[in-house]
Structure 1
Amino acid sequence: MPCLFAIFALATPRLVILCLYFLSNWFNGLFPTPLYAILGFIFLPTTLLWYTAVVHWFGGQWTLWPVIGLVIALAIDVSPASHRRRVRAPVD
Protein backbone atom coordinates (compact mmCIF):
# COMPACT_ATOMS: atom_id res chain seq x y z
CA MET A 1 0.00 0.00 0.00
CA PRO A 2 2.76 2.56 0.76
CA CYS A 3 4.34 1.79 -2.62
CA LEU A 4 1.07 2.52 -4.38
CA PHE A 5 0.79 5.80 -2.49
CA ALA A 6 4.34 6.74 -3.54
CA ILE A 7 3.60 6.00 -7.20
CA PHE A 8 0.35 7.98 -6.95
CA ALA A 9 2.25 10.88 -5.33
CA LEU A 10 4.76 11.00 -8.17
CA ALA A 11 1.99 10.94 -10.75
CA THR A 12 -0.19 13.61 -9.17
CA PRO A 13 1.64 15.59 -6.49
CA ARG A 14 -0.79 18.49 -6.48
CA LEU A 15 -3.73 16.20 -5.77
CA VAL A 16 -1.79 14.59 -2.92
CA ILE A 17 -0.99 18.04 -1.48
CA LEU A 18 -4.66 18.98 -1.57
CA CYS A 19 -5.68 15.70 0.08
CA LEU A 20 -3.07 16.12 2.82
CA TYR A 21 -4.09 19.72 3.39
CA PHE A 22 -7.82 19.09 3.67
CA LEU A 23 -7.79 15.65 5.33
CA SER A 24 -4.91 15.94 7.82
CA ASN A 25 -2.77 18.42 9.73
CA TRP A 26 0.36 17.61 7.69
CA PHE A 27 1.17 21.25 6.82
CA ASN A 28 0.40 22.86 10.20
CA GLY A 29 3.31 24.93 11.49
CA LEU A 30 5.80 24.07 8.75
CA PHE A 31 6.09 27.44 7.07
CA PRO A 32 6.40 30.92 8.60
CA THR A 33 3.99 32.25 5.97
CA PRO A 34 1.46 30.50 3.72
CA LEU A 35 3.11 32.12 0.71
CA TYR A 36 5.87 29.48 0.68
CA ALA A 37 3.34 26.65 0.59
CA ILE A 38 1.35 28.32 -2.19
CA LEU A 39 4.47 28.93 -4.30
CA GLY A 40 5.58 25.33 -3.71
CA PHE A 41 2.15 24.08 -4.75
CA ILE A 42 2.28 26.07 -7.98
CA PHE A 43 5.91 25.68 -9.06
CA LEU A 44 7.56 22.74 -7.21
CA PRO A 45 4.90 20.35 -5.86
CA THR A 46 7.13 17.25 -5.55
CA THR A 47 9.80 19.26 -3.76
CA LEU A 48 7.16 20.68 -1.41
CA LEU A 49 6.01 17.16 -0.55
CA TRP A 50 9.58 16.02 0.05
CA TYR A 51 10.37 19.04 2.23
CA THR A 52 7.35 18.32 4.42
CA ALA A 53 8.32 14.63 4.58
CA VAL A 54 11.81 15.55 5.77
CA VAL A 55 10.40 17.84 8.45
CA HIS A 56 7.99 15.15 9.67
CA TRP A 57 9.98 11.92 9.24
CA PHE A 58 13.59 13.07 9.65
CA GLY A 59 12.94 15.76 12.25
CA GLY A 60 14.07 18.48 9.87
CA GLN A 61 17.67 17.23 9.82
CA TRP A 62 19.17 17.50 6.35
CA THR A 63 21.55 14.55 6.28
CA LEU A 64 22.65 12.59 3.21
CA TRP A 65 19.38 10.80 2.35
CA PRO A 66 17.11 13.82 2.68
CA VAL A 67 19.44 15.84 0.46
CA ILE A 68 19.51 13.06 -2.15
CA GLY A 69 15.71 12.96 -2.02
CA LEU A 70 15.60 16.74 -2.44
CA VAL A 71 17.81 16.56 -5.53
CA ILE A 72 15.57 13.86 -7.01
CA ALA A 73 12.42 15.87 -6.20
CA LEU A 74 13.90 18.98 -7.83
CA ALA A 75 14.86 16.93 -10.89
CA ILE A 76 11.28 15.65 -11.16
CA ASP A 77 9.84 19.16 -10.84
CA VAL A 78 12.14 21.00 -13.23
CA SER A 79 12.76 18.28 -15.82
CA PRO A 80 11.76 19.19 -19.36
CA ALA A 81 9.76 15.95 -19.62
CA SER A 82 7.30 17.12 -16.97
CA HIS A 83 6.34 20.12 -19.12
CA ARG A 84 5.97 18.24 -22.41
CA ARG A 85 2.62 16.55 -22.08
CA ARG A 86 1.55 17.26 -25.67
CA VAL A 87 2.28 14.98 -28.58
CA ARG A 88 4.31 16.66 -31.27
CA ALA A 89 2.90 16.83 -34.77
CA PRO A 90 5.04 15.10 -37.38
CA VAL A 91 7.14 17.39 -39.55
CA ASP A 92 6.35 17.19 -43.27
Structure 2
Amino acid sequence: MCLLILLLILGPRAVIVVWWLLAPVTWSVAFGGTLLLPILGFLILPWTTLMYVLVAPGGVVGVDFLWLALALFADIASHAGGNVYRRRRA
Protein backbone atom coordinates (compact mmCIF):
# COMPACT_ATOMS: atom_id res chain seq x y z
CA MET A 1 0.00 0.00 0.00
CA CYS A 2 2.81 2.42 0.84
CA LEU A 3 4.48 1.61 -2.49
CA LEU A 4 1.29 2.46 -4.37
CA ILE A 5 0.92 5.79 -2.58
CA LEU A 6 4.59 6.63 -3.19
CA LEU A 7 4.24 5.81 -6.88
CA LEU A 8 1.13 7.98 -7.22
CA ILE A 9 3.00 10.85 -5.58
CA LEU A 10 5.90 10.39 -8.00
CA GLY A 11 3.51 10.53 -10.93
CA PRO A 12 1.90 8.36 -13.55
CA ARG A 13 5.11 7.65 -15.43
CA ALA A 14 6.63 5.97 -12.38
CA VAL A 15 3.49 3.86 -12.02
CA ILE A 16 3.68 2.88 -15.70
CA VAL A 17 7.30 1.73 -15.40
CA VAL A 18 6.75 -0.29 -12.23
CA TRP A 19 3.48 -1.82 -13.43
CA TRP A 20 5.03 -2.71 -16.78
CA LEU A 21 7.89 -4.48 -14.99
CA LEU A 22 5.60 -6.31 -12.53
CA ALA A 23 2.79 -7.31 -14.91
CA PRO A 24 3.94 -7.33 -18.55
CA VAL A 25 1.15 -9.72 -19.54
CA THR A 26 -1.50 -7.16 -18.58
CA TRP A 27 0.15 -4.59 -20.85
CA SER A 28 0.45 -7.13 -23.65
CA VAL A 29 -3.27 -7.95 -23.40
CA ALA A 30 -4.27 -4.28 -23.28
CA PHE A 31 -2.19 -3.18 -26.28
CA GLY A 32 -2.13 -6.36 -28.32
CA GLY A 33 1.61 -6.95 -28.03
CA THR A 34 2.70 -3.72 -29.73
CA LEU A 35 5.19 -1.42 -28.02
CA LEU A 36 4.54 1.77 -29.97
CA LEU A 37 1.25 2.76 -28.28
CA PRO A 38 2.43 2.24 -24.68
CA ILE A 39 5.61 4.21 -25.36
CA LEU A 40 3.66 7.08 -26.94
CA GLY A 41 1.24 6.93 -24.02
CA PHE A 42 4.14 7.08 -21.58
CA LEU A 43 5.50 10.19 -23.28
CA ILE A 44 2.32 12.09 -24.14
CA LEU A 45 -0.74 10.79 -22.25
CA PRO A 46 0.36 8.88 -19.11
CA TRP A 47 -2.94 9.09 -17.16
CA THR A 48 -4.93 7.94 -20.19
CA THR A 49 -2.49 5.07 -20.74
CA LEU A 50 -2.87 3.91 -17.14
CA MET A 51 -6.65 4.09 -17.31
CA TYR A 52 -6.71 2.22 -20.61
CA VAL A 53 -4.65 -0.61 -19.12
CA LEU A 54 -7.14 -0.79 -16.24
CA VAL A 55 -10.26 -0.99 -18.42
CA ALA A 56 -9.07 -2.56 -21.70
CA PRO A 57 -8.70 -6.25 -20.73
CA GLY A 58 -12.45 -6.52 -20.12
CA GLY A 59 -13.29 -4.43 -23.16
CA VAL A 60 -14.00 -0.73 -23.23
CA VAL A 61 -17.77 -0.41 -22.79
CA GLY A 62 -20.20 1.78 -20.89
CA VAL A 63 -18.71 3.66 -17.96
CA ASP A 64 -15.19 2.82 -19.13
CA PHE A 65 -15.47 5.65 -21.67
CA LEU A 66 -16.14 8.06 -18.80
CA TRP A 67 -12.99 6.90 -16.98
CA LEU A 68 -10.95 7.30 -20.15
CA ALA A 69 -12.38 10.79 -20.71
CA LEU A 70 -11.49 11.81 -17.14
CA ALA A 71 -7.94 10.51 -17.61
CA LEU A 72 -7.66 12.38 -20.92
CA PHE A 73 -8.87 15.52 -19.17
CA ALA A 74 -6.19 15.05 -16.49
CA ASP A 75 -3.50 14.73 -19.17
CA ILE A 76 -4.71 17.83 -21.03
CA ALA A 77 -4.92 19.78 -17.77
CA SER A 78 -1.38 18.82 -16.81
CA HIS A 79 -0.06 19.94 -20.21
CA ALA A 80 -2.02 23.20 -20.05
CA GLY A 81 -0.88 23.85 -16.49
CA GLY A 82 2.72 23.44 -17.55
CA ASN A 83 2.27 26.04 -20.28
CA VAL A 84 0.69 28.52 -17.88
CA TYR A 85 3.57 28.09 -15.43
CA ARG A 86 6.11 28.51 -18.22
CA ARG A 87 4.47 31.79 -19.30
CA ARG A 88 4.57 33.14 -15.72
CA ARG A 89 8.30 32.52 -15.47
CA ALA A 90 9.00 34.37 -18.73
- Do Structure 1 and Structure 2 share a fold, with TM-score over 0.5? yes
Q: For the Cα contact (< 8 Å) 1:76–1:82, is it kept in 2?
A: no
Aligned-residue CA RMSD in angstroms? Answer: 2.9
- Give the match for residue 24 of structure 1: 23
Query: Are 1:78 and 2:54 counterparts?
Result: no
For residue 21 of structure 2, what is the amino acid of its counterpart?
F
Percent of paired sites with the same residue? 33
Instruction: Name the CA distance, whole Å, in 1 between partners of 2:6 and 2:70.
Output: 14
How far is the alpha carbon of 1:13 from its aligned partner?
0.3
Q: Which of these two proteins has the greater Rg computed from alpha carbons? A: 1
Count of residue pairs brought into register by the alignment = 86
2-side partners of 1:23 and 1:62: how far apart?
A: 26
Three-state SS of the structure 2 residue aligned to 1:48 is helix
Alpha-carbon distance in 2 for matches of 1:7, 1:85: 25
Give the structure with the larger helix fraction.
2
**Runs of 4+ with deviation above 6 angstroms:** none
Give the drift of 1:86: 5.3
Q: Which amino acid aligns with 2:14?
A: L
1:13 aligns with 2:15: no
